[in-house]
């Protein structure tokens, strides 16, 4: 593709290319998508779709493991956790690649059996990496991290395939509880690849850039909160 942009990391560009390749990204300014926050968005990204494409999935997991190694450091990760439900397959793939134990975290402790929020075996004091598909404001990630801490694990890093951004403030929200966010890809990389490949047309890219510049104003102008 011959793309070169010093502000976009190779890791982000790789993930953006993979997501576009499997058509996990869509843009429809005329019929905006509604985010869980109630905000309208001209774009969506469906990271869950990746689990169905073995070749691209393998490449993406290589990238995630590369991020663990370069940004966190392998010795700092002793257990990989996935959040219910979308994070579970990614945690499993990463744990298998790194040869590490895995657990998964429920949104809330189940009200029957042993009533646990963390499933699997988590030895107290172990350093846990939470692996997720997507982050917007970090709210659900905090729920999972608190669950890990309550179960005796130490968690100070969250790794996601994609950060939606758009004013979600995930990194800041997680940092308040001593957790660092590592997102492999963001919209800026998607715009770069979409423009280079012709995946989005001019109008779609304009809508996306306009949304990212002021997500609240774009949303209010298009029927969202």
User: Rounded mean pLDDT of the chain?
Assistant: 90
Q: Is the pLDDT of residue 106 over 90?
A: yes
Bridging pattern class, strands 127-135 and 118-119: unpaired
Condensed to tens digits (0 to 9), the pLDDT of residues 177-214 reads 999 999 999 999 999 999 999 999 999 999 999 988 88
pLDDT, residue 152, reads: 95
Q: Which of 74, 79, 67 is nearest to 127 (CA)?
A: 79
* Residue reference for tokens 């510049």: 213
Residue 213 has which token pair? 């510049």
Whether the CB-CB separation of 160 and 196 falls below 8 Å is answered with no
Residue 192 has which token pair? 């770069």
Domains in the chain, CATH or no CATH each: 10-26+35-215 (3.40.50.2020)
What global pTM score does this model have?
Answer: 0.90
- The Cα 103–Cα 95 span in angstroms is 9
Q: Is the pLDDT of residue 22 over 90?
A: yes
Condensed to tens digits (0 to 9), the pLDDT of residues 66-99 reads 999 999 999 999 999 999 989 999 999 999 999 9
pLDDT, residue 18, reads: 98
Residue 121 has which token pair? 């075996």
Condensed to tens digits (0 to 9), the pLDDT of residues 151-177 reads 999 999 999 999 887 667 888 989 899
Element (H, E) at 182: strand 180-186
Residue 163: strand, helix, or coil: strand
- The Cα 78–Cα 60 span in angstroms is 21
Q: pLDDT-based confidence at 3, cuts 50/70/90?
A: very low
């Amino acid at each position: 593709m011959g793309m070169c942009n010093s502000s976009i990391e190779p890791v982000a560009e790789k993930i953006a290319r993979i997501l576009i390749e499997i058509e996990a990204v869509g843009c429809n300014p005329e019929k905006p998508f509604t985010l869980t926050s109630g905000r309208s968005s001209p774009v969506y990204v469906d990271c869950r779709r990746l689990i169905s494409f073995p070749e691209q999935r393998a490449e993406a997991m290589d990238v995630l493991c590369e991020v663990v190694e370069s940004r966190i450091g392998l010795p700092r990760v002793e257990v990989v956790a996935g959040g219910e439900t979308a994070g579970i397959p990614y945690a499993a793939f990463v744990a298998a690649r790194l040869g590490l134990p895995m657990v998964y975290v429920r949104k809330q402790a189940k009200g029957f059996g042993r009533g646990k929020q963390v499933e699997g075996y988590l030895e107290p004091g172990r350093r846990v990496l939470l692996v997720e598909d997507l982050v917007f404001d970090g709210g659900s990630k905090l729920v999972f991290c608190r669950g890990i801490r309550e179960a005796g694990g130490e968690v100070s890093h969250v790794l996601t395939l994609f950060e939606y951004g758009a004013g979600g403030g995930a990194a800041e929200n997680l940092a308040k509880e001593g957790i660092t966010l590592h997102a492999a890809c963001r919209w800026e990389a998607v715009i770069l690849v979409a423009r280079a490949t012709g995946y989005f047309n001019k109008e779609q890219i304009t809508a996306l850039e306009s949304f990212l510049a002021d997500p609240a104003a774009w949303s209010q102008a298009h029927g969202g909160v």
